[in-house]
Amino acid sequence: MQKYWGVLLALVVIVSCKEEEKPIITEIAQIEVEKPVEKYFGFNLEEFKVVNDTIRYGDSFGELMLKNHVDYPKIAAVSEKFRDTFDVRKIRVGKPYVILKSKDSLEKAQIFIYQNDKVNYTVVDLRDSALVYKSKKEVQLVEREVAGVINSSLSQTLDSLGVDYAVTINLSEIYAWTIDFFRLEKGDKFKIVYDEKYINDTIYAGSGAIKAAYFEHKGTPVYAFPYVIDSTKNILDYYDQDANNLRSTFLRAPIKFGYRLSSGYNLKRRIAYYGNRVRPHKGTDYAAPIGTPIIATADGTVTESTRRGGNGRYVKIRHNGTYSTQYLHMRKQKVKKGDFVRQGDVIGWVGMTGNTSGPHVCYRFWKNGRQVDPLREKLPSADPIADSLKSAYFEHIKPLRFQLDCIEFMQPSDYENEKDMLTFNQYDDTSQNQSYSD
């Protein structure tokens, strides 16, 4: 442990409401202070020569170690014995790494640290017999409150407030069953309480779960609070201010938030692909890039997974005796007939198979054997909190609701990036935007 000399100045100020303040210097002394050891991923930097770099195209773990004088048998031992912890074949270009080398003339690699992400890293200790383990940087959670009024879209509004896009996704998933994010209106409002993660108090490392939320759509407020009703199963759901489960039996859309609703259910719609003739369009089209994951909107059993005519590659799911759904124009299916799928499972990927003028998924919805418009259906909700548990739930959410109610809305004129806010265009079947139809 190194030592250095420092000067300590102790200044005592006595403050009184009745007497004049009188600063009193009590002592000036020179004391001996121990210099703290600088740690890096838990290692004493004074013991090593440190190399910081990133994985480049063509790099491999073996070549990096050979260049730093590690014997091949030890490299092979790491590659074979610790494959479950660190698969050396999966190191990625652009990922940062650290090599701690010996300070002698050989400068042999002693420690290799591969940074999986901002928080997680893998340590390969080469000093004796090889040892590999995973670890995490210490993360501090800082609670943040955000509120805003939508003037364009949810993602643009949150982005203008400097909110991580992951929070936008989380919020949209919480309200996915109760709010149609493709039909938000100018003036809709939201409030969010969530945690942000920081390393060393300054390095942002992502967002945590949403702890409480409020969304006002068309003047109707809906609160959202996370709650575990069965601690043995540790299943967390979000419930509203009346203890109703925000999760519905069906998701509103077969792709995650952020993609455009390009064509709606319309029995009198003219289809460009068929010469602009009137042809009933019994699906709801969601335009998205080729390869975008398509998800099951509810639990069910796959009854069809095939390719046929204008539908292209598609999957059909029977959810119960009342409801079935179908997903058309896939590039590729991930499930086969007879598979049981859970809500949110990926069942295929967006493509352009069959009769289509652009990449999208045509989502079809059956109720009692008849195709209906899913956006106009009142979909069944999941069970609310049982009456016997409601008093505990209301007590739990009381401080969270009070916190939300105290947050003031930011007006659009308060946004730092107001100039980037776009004019809101509400969805309309007569819109001149390009539509992809089958």
pLDDT digits (tens, 9 = 90+) for 161-193: 999 999 998 998 888 777 877 678 889 999 999
Of 215, 213, 217, nearest in space to 227 by CA? 213
Q: Please report, for the chain, the start and end positions of each structural domain, with discontinuous segments joined by +.
A: 3-34, 39-136, 140-243+386-438, 260-372
Eight-state DSSP code of residue 106: S
Between strands 370-372 and 22-34, the pairing is: unpaired
Residue range 260-372 in CATH 3.40.640.10: no
Query: pLDDT value at position 9?
Result: 42
83 or 274, higher pLDDT? 83
394 CB-contact burial (10 Å; exposed 0-12 / middle 13-18 / buried 19+): middle
CATH topology for 140-243+386-438 is: Nuclear Transport Factor 2; Chain: A, (3.10.450)
Coil vs helix vs strand at 88: helix
Neighbours of 383 (CB within 10 A): 10
Query: pLDDT value at position 167?
Result: 93
Of 223, 194, 146, 162, nearest in space to 410 by CA? 146
Residues 6+ apart with CB under 8 A from 220: none
CA distances from 435 to 243, 358, 420, 423, 430 (A): 39, 8, 25, 20, 10
Of 360, 416, 428, 419, nearest in space to 152 by CA? 419
Give the type of residue at 91: I
Q: Looking at the predicted structure, is the pLDDT value of residue 291 above 70?
A: yes
Q: How confident is the model at residue 227 (pLDDT cuts 50, 70, 90)?
A: very high
Q: Looking at the predicted structure, is the pLDDT value of residue 344 above 80?
A: yes
Of 322, 348, 173, nearest in space to 248 by CA? 173
pTM of the model: 0.59
Spatial distance between the Cα atoms of 328 and 319, rounded to a whole number of angstroms:
17
Q: Do domains 39-136 and 260-372 have the same CATH topology?
A: no
Is residue 366 within 8 A of residue 297, CB to CB? The reply is no
Spatial distance between the Cα atoms of 219 and 206, rounded to a whole number of angstroms:
32
Q: Looking at the predicted structure, is the pLDDT value of residue 212 above 70?
A: yes
Q: Looking at the predicted structure, is the pLDDT value of residue 113 above 60?
A: yes
CATH topology for 39-136 is: Nuclear Transport Factor 2; Chain: A, (3.10.450)
Spatial distance between the Cα atoms of 427 and 37, rounded to a whole number of angstroms:
61
Neighbours of 39 (CB within 10 A): 9
Over residues 295-336, the pLDDT tens digits come to 999 888 999 999 999 899 999 999 887 889 999 999 999 999
Of 328, 271, 339, 270, nearest in space to 299 by CA? 339
Coil vs helix vs strand at 227: strand
End-to-end CA distance of the chain: 74
Query: pLDDT value at position 283?
Result: 78
Please give the distance of CA 121 from its chain centroid, rounded to a whole number.
20
- Segments in 149-251 forming alpha helices (H): 154-160, 165-174
97-101, 203-207, 380-384: which is most confident: 97-101
Query: pLDDT value at position 436?
Result: 45
Residues 6+ apart with CB under 8 A from 323: 249, 250, 298, 365, 366, 367
Is residue 111 within 8 A of residue 100, CB to CB? The reply is yes
Over residues 133-148, the pLDDT tens digits come to 999 988 999 999 999 9
367 CB-contact burial (10 Å; exposed 0-12 / middle 13-18 / buried 19+): middle
Give 110-168 as a 3 state SS string.
Answer: EEEEEECCCCEEEEEECCCCCEEEEEECCEEEEEEEEEEECCCCHHHHHHHCCCCHHHH
Q: Give the max Cα distance, the chain.
A: 94
Spatial distance between the Cα atoms of 148 and 90, rounded to a whole number of angstroms:
42
The DSSP result for 326-394, as a single string, is EEEEEEEES--TT-EE-TT-EEEEEB--SS-SSSEEEEEEEETTEEE-TTTS-PPBPP---HHHHHHHH
